[in-house]
Amino acid sequence: MKKTHIISVGIIFLFLGASFVQAFPEAPNSTQKLLQSEQALAFDNWMYYRVLTLNNAVDDYQMFINISYSSNDGVNCNSHCKTDFSDVRFVKDDNSSQLNYWFEKIVDGDYCWIWVRLPEDIESSEKIIMFYGNPEAISDSNGLDTFLYFEDWTNDHTSQWNVVRKPSDTGTVCTLPFDVNYNIRYVSKIKWLQWDVEEYYTPDLFHGFIDSTGEITPTNYIYSYTKPSMTAGADTSTLAYRLSIEKEGLMYFGEYQNPSLSLSKDYISEMTYTDTSMSSALYSEARTFLSADEMNDHIPVANSLNYIGIELGDYGESGHEQYFTWDSSGYLELYLHRGVGGTEHRLVDWMFIGKYFDPEPSIDTVGEEKLNFELLPSLLIGKIQNVTESDSFITFEAVKVRRLSFSPLSFGTFFENENVIIDKDYKGFIGLRFILVFCKSYVLS
């Protein structure tokens, strides 16, 4: 039979001082925060942190970080974060403000992929701090605040796009205003549901940047696109991946790439754009590399591209059927059936645009795990205040006390602005190394 014990437990303060009342208002060094900043109080409920030192830091950059739950390699939480990583936070190296972030993928109790927006002055310090270890925290993941553009199709935003159907139903151009600058990446997660081929003129789905709002003949664009393979001798059921550029009315093409793809699986498509090159790559959902293409000539100037563009089909025959619609399960649905050329059908899970530089920022050094507060032999405490003295008692307010460990018992608990009263007789212990302060009773089963 399980017995229940009610045990009164004290908090032990370690200090050396001549006067109890004088020592506590200044918060003795033994309870001093490791990170010296009053601005850090918002993270007092986080038990652990690591300092991450970066290579090639770029101001205001969206940086990809792979975090492990328990592995000793790379960035990890040493099994001290929540299994869904919802308590992970990143802050500036001076501990002054939280950084925006977005989870691309979470595997509970194993790893997560996270994009963190670096500070605007990161080049001056090249360090950020990762906090974790707060069982009460909920995720702050926010793609809108992390990227230059973000859409996860949780809601129907298709009305924000300008959708233009070409004459004779030969195609549809969908555009969204966006000021395109050099050194950006455009990433989307897609799922192919169907593709089939009837003849050479097969359905094409393009995505990238465009200069117009849907004219039949745009002057400038940069697209990556997929279609059944047009490589001589290739299996026409193999989906090809290719880059396409139009600059000042002239078209240029990259080489066909033929990754091995399967229907109803998720893929990551990534396109990067600089003043000297355009590249595109396709990855599995696990970010295993599948194929890539690059073009280093005929790159349109950035100010000639003013829209995110998605184009469905681009040939002259009629009889097309095209959908640019929202799926209430959280997808953008793209469907194209050519009258004499087959069908392609895909879903877009999410899409974002962020900065891109080569080489990209990376983790150089992962600092050792540290407690957010100094640990005394049996106490982890943040701060006390409002110490008052009466004839019989000393009263103070225990602010942000974090964890209590009292051998042979160990407690994981939190106090928030709890008033503590101790018998004044404990003043007689002044000069000893420990003073026992009664806090509360615990019920142990």
Q: What's the pLDDT score for residue 214?
A: 65
Residue 390 burial (10 A CB sphere; 0-12, 13-18, 19+): exposed
The identity of residue 180, as a single letter, is V
Task: Name the β-bridge partners of 324.
Answer: 334
CA distance 36 to 39: 9
Contact 223, 329 (CB under 8 A): no
Q: What's the pLDDT score for residue 78?
A: 94
Q: What's the pLDDT score for residue 28?
A: 32
**pLDDT tens digit at each of 445 positions of the chain:** 433 223 333 443 433 333 333 333 333 333 333 343 333 446 878 888 999 999 999 999 999 999 999 987 899 999 999 999 999 999 998 887 899 999 999 999 999 999 999 999 998 889 999 999 999 999 999 999 999 999 999 999 999 999 988 776 667 889 999 999 999 999 999 998 887 766 555 667 889 999 987 666 788 999 998 776 665 555 556 677 889 999 988 999 888 787 888 888 999 999 999 999 999 999 999 999 999 999 999 999 998 999 999 988 765 556 678 889 999 999 999 998 876 667 889 999 999 999 999 999 999 999 999 888 643 333 444 455 666 666 666 565 655 544 443 333 333 343 444 554 444 343 332 222 223 333 333 232 2
CA distance 310 to 209: 8
CA distance 127 to 130: 10
Q: What's the pLDDT score for residue 235?
A: 59
CA distance 408 to 398: 23
The domains found in the chain, sorted by start residue, are 5-32+379-444 (no CATH), 38-146 (no CATH), 150-355 (2.60.120.200)
Name the token pair of 351: 């899409």
SS3 236: coil
The secondary structure of 338-407, three-state, reads ECCCEEEEEEEEEEEEEECCCCCCEEEEECCCEECECEECCEECCEEEEEEECCCEEEEEEECCCEEEEC
SS3 67: strand
Residue 361 burial (10 A CB sphere; 0-12, 13-18, 19+): buried
Q: What's the pLDDT score for residue 380?
A: 40
CA distance 241 to 56: 31
CA distance 135 to 138: 9
Residue 105 is given by DSSP the state E
- End-to-end Cα spacing for the chain: 11
